[in-house]
């Protein structure tokens, strides 16, 4: 009998159970492995009020930017030191393979150190105002309480690009972990406590829709919402933000194109395509889920991809030799299967995969799948699978490649593979996406802004400018003249 672990929420510097709890399922076994705290509306209100007190009454409000930076740097070191144990929890709760969770969480520490270094680099300005005897300066002050909402995939990374700049700017945060796999972030809260952040500065909760999510995003003391997820939920959040007029940024995933020209290094491009769609079982907002390959090399390239896809080692996500694990939920399996079926009925050709891997009777597993079609109007080209499914088509000219790459409502990421430097630069300028990778894919850095166009969302995360999104600008006018202000009712 597997021991059921219990996790608590973290509010106002203390761990406590919620009034209710819910089961968390191990995607590789389909068995309950943990009980998670289900935040009520009262829990959410308590967390927001704790954050508000921390911002305006507690020691956080009196800390210098340099002191905040030191705490962030300490947090980054702790994340790096505890990466292995947090990775084990993420793998257990979401099915993401252990070799990827360890590497990704190990790198997340650099984000907190980066923003820790930025904390005391945020400078104001002196304005050359057009009026005599007035000194006018600008101050950047923390925007207020931040509601940070993240999905279950890559959650330590997606939290860091919100928490890092928010804490560096002096804000306090209520972090809502996804109910689909909250264990890593509930464990992360212990590192926040160990780093020495005052009570209420970071609160970590999880829960469902109306009671948790809506209460958080409509709360009158929330000034900023940073959300990563899907467009459907984002629309609810935008409507909710009308209640408190909170500044809102949205990172909403995509249907990212990878364009492979005939002159590309095809073996290198194939490795990148495989990494872009089959790593993390395709459950990445930047997954390269649409392949556009020049017709003259399409058959050869699809053959290379098909062999690589068939050779992927699928199995226990906790085993270091596993290269692809399950998807996170049974609901995803059903959605992926239905979209593959609808696409094939509409004319898509199944190149490889399409079903359940052999020898895996339990778990939410999907074979690495490649579909081929000349029509971009099929569901596989329009809908985000959020699974290990690549939709391929061909093109003959650069203009056709651009048109097909941009034929989507999304615009988060894209990839271009070519040996032509001039073509690479042209494609960078013409593709409508927030990220363009040329002869590489899935590279990230705390220094590089992350975000998209269209239905891929609003705003950017990471990079030096992101700290400003967690501040308000205050104009300060100082009269430097000793002369009295003239009587306003005497006209001269």
- Token pair 């309950």: residue: 32
Query: Quick check: is 454 in a domain?
Result: no
271, pLDDT greater than 60: yes
343-368 pLDDT tens trace = 999 999 999 999 999 999 999 999 99
Query: Quick check: is 456 in a domain?
Result: no
Tally of domains in the chain? 2
For residue 490, the model assigns a pLDDT of 86
In 278-367, beta strands by DSSP E: 290-294, 349-352
Q: Where would I find the H helices in 150-294? A: 155-169, 183-195, 215-218, 231-241, 266-278
457, 395, 198: which is closest to 449 by C-alpha?
Answer: 457
Which pLDDT band, with edges at 50, 70 and 90, does 210 fall under?
Answer: confident
Q: Are 262 and 301 in contact (CB under 8 A)?
A: no
**1-5, 33-37, 277-281: segment of lowest average pLDDT:** 1-5
For residue 492, the model assigns a pLDDT of 65
Query: Quick check: is 105 in a domain?
Result: yes
48-99 pLDDT tens trace = 999 999 999 999 999 999 999 999 999 999 999 999 999 999 999 999 999 9
Q: Are 439 and 416 in contact (CB under 8 A)?
A: yes
Which pLDDT band, with edges at 50, 70 and 90, does 253 fall under?
Answer: confident
Cβ-Cβ contacts under 8 Å for 429 (sequence gap 6 or more): none
Indicate if 379 and 273 belong to the same structural domain: yes
Indicate if 182 and 324 belong to the same structural domain: no
1, pLDDT greater than 70: no
445, pLDDT greater than 70: yes
Choose the catalytic residue: 90, 179, 180, 251.
251
Query: Quick check: is 481 in a domain?
Result: no
Query: Quick check: is 428 in a domain?
Result: yes
Max Cα separation, the chain?
93
42, 124, 112: which is closest to 80 by C-alpha?
Answer: 112
Indicate if 215 and 270 belong to the same structural domain: no
Indicate if 288 and 183 belong to the same structural domain: no
Query: Which two three-digit tokens encode residue 484?
Result: 């009295």
- Token pair 């308590």: residue: 46
28 to each of 25, 315, 389, how far by Cα in Å? 9, 8, 19
Q: What is the CA radius of gyration of the chain?
A: 25
Query: Quick check: is 491 in a domain?
Result: no
Indicate if 62 and 112 belong to the same structural domain: yes
Mean pLDDT in residue range 119-144: 96
258 to each of 49, 178, 289, 299, 367, how far by Cα in Å? 45, 29, 8, 16, 21
Mean pLDDT in residue range 411-432: 98
Query: Quick check: is 78 in a domain?
Result: yes
Q: Is 211 a catalytic residue?
A: no
Tell me the residue range of the domain where 314 lies.
257-438
Q: Are 51 and 201 in contact (CB under 8 A)?
A: yes
Q: What is the pTM of this model?
A: 0.95
- Token pair 């300060």: residue: 476
203-204-208 Cα angle (round to 5)? 125
Alpha carbon distance, N-terminus to C-terminus of the chain:
91
299-327 pLDDT tens trace = 999 999 999 999 999 999 999 999 999 99
134-184 pLDDT tens trace = 999 999 999 999 999 999 999 999 999 999 999 999 999 999 999 999 999
Counting Cβ atoms within 10 Å, is residue 37 exposed (0-12), middle (13-18) or buried (19+)? Answer: buried
Indicate if 471 and 416 belong to the same structural domain: no
């Amino acid at each position: 009998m597997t021991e059921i672990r219990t996790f608590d929420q973290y509010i106002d510097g203390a761990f406590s159970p919620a009034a209710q709890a819910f089961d968390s399922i191990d995607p590789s076994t389909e068995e309950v492995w943990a009980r998670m705290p289900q935040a009520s509306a009262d829990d959410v209100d308590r967390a927001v009020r704790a954050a508000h007190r921390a911002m305006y009454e507690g020691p956080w409000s009196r800390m210098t930017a340099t002191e905040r930076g030191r705490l962030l740097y300490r947090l980054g070191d702790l994340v790096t030191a505890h990466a292995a144990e947090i990775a084990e929890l993420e793998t257990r709760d979401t099915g993401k393979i252990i070799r990827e969770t360890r590497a990704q969480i190990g790198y997340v520490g650099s984000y907190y150190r980066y923003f820790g270094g930025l904390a005391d680099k945020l400078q104001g300005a002196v304005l050359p105002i057009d009026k005599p005897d007035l000194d006018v300066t600008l101050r950047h002050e923390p925007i207020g309480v931040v509601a940070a909402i993240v999905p279950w995939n890559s959650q330590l990374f997606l939290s860091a690009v919100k928490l890092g700049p928010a804490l560096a700017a002096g804000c306090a945060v209520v972090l809502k972990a996804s109910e689909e796999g909250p264990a890593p972030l509930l464990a992360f809260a212990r590192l926040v406590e160990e780093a020495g952040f005052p009570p209420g500065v970071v609160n970590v909760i999880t829960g469902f829709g109306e009671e948790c999510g809506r209460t958080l995003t409509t709360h009158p003391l929330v000034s900023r919402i940073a959300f990563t997820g899907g467009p459907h939920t984002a629309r609810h959040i935008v409507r909710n933000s009308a209640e408190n007029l909170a500044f809102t940024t949205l990172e909403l995933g995509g249907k990212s194109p990878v364009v492979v020209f005939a002159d590309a290094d095809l073996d290198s491009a194939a490795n990148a395509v495989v990494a872009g769609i089959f790593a993390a079982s395709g459950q990445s907002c930047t997954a390269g889920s649409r392949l556009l390959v020049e017709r003259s090399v399409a058959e050869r390239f699809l053959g290379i991809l098909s062999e690589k896809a068939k050779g992927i080692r699928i199995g226990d996500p906790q085993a270091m030799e596993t290269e692809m694990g399950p998807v996170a939920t049974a609901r995803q399996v059903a959605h992926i299967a239905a979209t593959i079926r609808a696409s094939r009925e509409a004319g898509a050709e199944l190149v490889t995969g399409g079903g359940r891997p052999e020898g895996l009777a339990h778990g939410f597993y999907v074979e690495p799948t490649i579909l081929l079609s000349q029509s971009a109007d099929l569901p596989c080209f329009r809908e985000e699978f959020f699974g290990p499914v690549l939709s391929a088509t061909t093109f003959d000219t650069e203009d056709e490649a651009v048109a097909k790459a941009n034929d989507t409502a999304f615009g988060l990421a894209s990839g271009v593979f070519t040996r032509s430097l001039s073509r690479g630069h042209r494609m960078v300028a013409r593709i409508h996406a927030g990220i363009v990778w040329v002869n590489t894919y899935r590279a990230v850095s705390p220094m590089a802004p992350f975000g998209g166009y269209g239905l891929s969302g609003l705003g950017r995360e990471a990079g030096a400018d992101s700290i400003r999104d967690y501040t308000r600008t205050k104009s300060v006018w100082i009269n430097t003249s000793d002369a009295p202000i003239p009587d306003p009712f005497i006209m001269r």
